[in-house]
Homo-oligomer: A and B are copies of this chain.
């Protein structure tokens, strides 16, 4: 029987609030199974770009990563965010070890070619996760903490969406472990109405998803996250939850009581 592995992705708003981050990391450190954490940098890249007088360029909510912005991404993601998280996890007795995709050659990506006249710059689409090497690190009882950067193997670091990194790691490791994937953020789950905290959707199937998209209840940033989740489920991940960061303390509750469970039937 395969051992259990839990992959957690923590959202930007939680990273931006040190109090919320502490609550989440205490819960994360207490998770008994093997585990991996994936994080971005919240708003820190935009705010540091502003302090340095760099122009922040976004198209449809996606950052244009030019050369100067990539340096700021290195500063704020593997620098400030990752090291702060690793040091805090050590305090809670969790032997965290920070990674970008370049470290240990864990995640190789390809620079996204310009499309429809839009050049996203140094942004990478994942081509390979080194699952067996990562399993070797997990077997030495380290807890990998990945930030949202990959590399192309030719010396170039690339900015890569943290949700996609989380699902790619979960898929790659599902051959070695019984793998669960948790997207943790500051909402109770996927909501029918984001302004109503009681409108959580406990279980989301493909047919329900289609109808909520049609009605407009599920829209914008939630759509790529859920698409990612369905794809990961189809590719071997055993359980996927989208939930509140505080739910990390209650993962053993009945499924319907915590977040939104993604199911493919």
Contact = CB atoms under 8 A, between A and B. Distances in A.
Interface of A: 51-52, 71, 74-80, 82-84, 86-88, 90-91, 95-100, 102-105, 133, 136-137, 140, 142, 149, 151, 153-157
A155 B84 CA distance: 8
A90 B153 contact: yes
A109 B115 CA distance: 49
Given A51-B52, A103-B96, A83 B74 contact: yes
B151 A87 contact: yes
Most B C-beta atoms less than 10 A away, residue of A84, A95, A105: A105
Main secondary structure, interface of A, reads helix
Contacts of A97: 99, 103-104
Number of copies: 2
B75 A76 contact: yes
12 contacts: A75-B75, A75-B76, A75-B79, A77-B79, A78-B78, A86-B103, A87-B102, A90-B155, A91-B154, A97-B99, A98-B100, A133-B140
B90 A105 contact: yes
Nearest to A80: B74
Contact of A90 (B90, B91, B96, B102): B102
A102 B74 contact: no
A80 B75 CA distance: 6
